[in-house]
């Protein structure tokens, strides 16, 4: 089995990249993709650990893009760290994340919560800043008792300290990734994973859909799988592991999603310039 969606301290995960790979090795996973939000900074360390421990580490990254229903996460696979075009794009995305973290702090202060940008920066430790860092700072300062409570009270979508990220278009990210030989897969679509929604995204460059994900309970898995098959999109899957214990059905344990090794080869066959069937 493999796992094509997980996070490290390079973004909002809690374990360093090498520890994520060590966990994968201990579980007997043959391959993982490290898909940190808006950064490839964890890949070199993960690769080094992967070589040592016999785990293939696929170069990945989780982008956030604009779609008709709002924000969608887009997993890129087979990208290499250090590529000038991708790194320039990601540097801009991360600086917008920093801007947004400051805006969230301003909102929180306006709500009477004593927190500073330094508190959030300390939590992120130089990583791509996300809401989990704000949530952990709130918890550390005693304003909430859990990360979940921070999302529910303050920074979840629709809550008073929520601030949007700047979102590029799907086609902008797809073009960027395709130009470097990679593919893109739509992450955790839940109820949005329909043929009606995915048809236009395929025209904008979507290669695959994440079917297996901890949030795909009930009918979601079947609906999304059917949509992928009927549109001839490849499949990806993963745990969205962030190394933490509690994440309310959106993250799960590494390796828990039963993703078959063959899916990686099928994804690779979609890469521009590959000798695959597409
Ligand atoms: P951001 O990209 O900064 O908007 O943060 C999104 C990240 O926050 C997701 O990738 C999850 O790691 C985390 N997240 C989102 N919603 C929740 C939630 N309700 N509880 C815990 N973590 C969450
Ligand atoms: Fe995350
Ligand atoms: Fe995501
Ligand atoms: Zn993720």
- Provide, rounded to the nearest whole percent, the portion of the chain with pLDDT above 90: 95
CB 129 within 8 A of CB 120: yes
pLDDT of residue 273: 84
The secondary structure of 90-137 as a DSSP string is HHHHHHHHHHHHHHHHHHHHHTT----HHHHHHHHTTSPP-HHHHHHH
* CB of 229 sitting under 6 A from ligand 1: no
Look up the pTM and report it.
0.97
What digits encode the pLDDT tens for the residues 117-159?
999 999 999 999 999 999 999 999 999 999 999 999 999 999 9
* CB of 248 sitting under 6 A from ligand 1: yes
Ligand nearest to the CA of 188: 3
Of 244, 267, 257, 259, which is closest to residue 15 (Cα–Cα)? 244
Compute the distance from residue 112 Cα to the ligand 4 centre, in Å: 31
3-state secondary structure of 183: strand
* CB of 221 sitting under 6 A from ligand 1: no
CATH assignment of 90-155, among 3.40.30.10, 1.10.150.650, 3.40.50.1970, 2.60.40.10: 1.10.150.650
Closest CA to ligand 1's atom 2: 130
Where are the chain's structural domains? 2-83+167-268, 90-155
- Residue 253 dihedral angles phi and psi, to the nearest 5°: -70, 145
* CATH topology identical between 2-83+167-268 and 90-155: no
In CATH terms, the superfamily for domain 2-83+167-268 is: Metal-dependent hydrolases (3.20.20.140)
What digits encode the pLDDT tens for the residues 227-278?
999 999 999 999 999 997 656 678 899 999 999 999 999 999 999 988 765 5
* CB of 83 sitting under 6 A from ligand 1: no
pLDDT of residue 34: 98
* CB of 5 sitting under 6 A from ligand 1: no
pLDDT of residue 247: 62
Task: Outline where DSSP puts E strands in 121-246.
Answer: 183-186, 208-212, 234-237
Compute the distance from residue 5 Cα to the ligand 4 centre, in Å: 6
* CB of 130 sitting under 6 A from ligand 1: yes
């Amino acid at each position: 089995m493999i796992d094509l969606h997980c996070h490290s301290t390079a973004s909002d995960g809690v374990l360093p990249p090498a520890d994520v790979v060590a966990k994968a090795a201990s579980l007997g996973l043959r391959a993982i993709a490290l898909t940190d939000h808006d950064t490839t900074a964890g890949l070199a360390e993960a690769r080094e650990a992967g070589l040592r421990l016999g785990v293939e580490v696929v170069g990945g990254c989780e982008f956030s893009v604009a779609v008709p229903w709002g924000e969608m996460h887009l997993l890129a696979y087979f990208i290499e760290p250090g590529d000038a075009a991708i790194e320039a794009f990601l540097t801009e995305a991360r600086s917008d994340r920093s801007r947004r973290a400051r805006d969230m702090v301003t909102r929180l202060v306006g709500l009477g919560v004593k927190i500073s940008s330094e508190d959030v920066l300390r939590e992120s430790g130089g990583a791509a800043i996300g809401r989990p860092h704000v949530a952990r700072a709130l918890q550390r300062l005693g304003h909430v008792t859990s990360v979940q409570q921070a999302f529910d009270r303050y920074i979840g979508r629709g809550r008073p300290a929520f601030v949007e990220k700047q979102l590029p278009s799907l086609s902008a990210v797809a073009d960027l990734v395709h130009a470097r030989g990679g593919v893109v897969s739509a992450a955790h679509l839940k109820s949005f994973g329909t043929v009606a929604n995915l048809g236009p995204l395929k025209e904008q460059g979507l290669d695959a859909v994440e079917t297996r994900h901890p949030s795909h309970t009930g009918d979601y898995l079947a609906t999304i799988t059917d949509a992928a098959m009927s549109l001839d999109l490849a499949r990806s899957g993963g745990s969205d592991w962030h190394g933490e214990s509690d994440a309310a059905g959106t993250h799960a344990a590494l390796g828990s999603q039963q993703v078959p090794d063959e899916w990686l080869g099928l994804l690779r066959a979609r890469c521009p310039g590959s000798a695959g069937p597409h």
